[in-house]
Structure 1
Amino acid sequence: MPGFWDSERILGDLQKGSERIRIREVKRRDMRLVDIRLFWQDKDDRWQPSKRGISVPLELVGSLAEALTRIARDAASS
């Protein structure tokens, strides 16, 4: 997706084997989103985005965070 977003800011990276889950705040036209996407390393050692991921409108991030918190809490108690 290089060049797809008007702007992007990396918020975090999580290592997943040889891949990386990257969390970014991105903007395209008038839309601001949080993009959570799997990245892979190319032969030149550059991280490239895969099609596996989700882009969530910024106004829904609070609801997403609440759902993830519930999942984490349930996982910790089981």
Structure 2
Amino acid sequence: MGLFSRPDSASDKAILVITWRKSRHSGGGGAGGQECVELASLNEGIGLRDSKAPDAGHLTLPAASFAELLDLVKQGHLDT
């Protein structure tokens, strides 16, 4: 899980491998659990992307900002 590098057998350059993960709680919600975000640990912070459109890009938040976002969600401040 997370980000690591490994030597590329064809050259001395490192290949970055990013592992995206989805919450184990994501199976029950709307659209059969398909409306989820995925997270990855990146060098720059925490990456977030839409699990339905993984090739559409991602948003990167510094770790401290992501922690603040999680606190707001857990406290219900972002409920609509």
TM-score bin (small chain): 0.3 to 0.5
Given the two structures, how large is their TM-score scaled by the length of structure 1?
0.47
TM-score for the superposition, normalised by structure 2: 0.46
Larger radius of gyration: 2
Larger strand proportion of the pair: 1
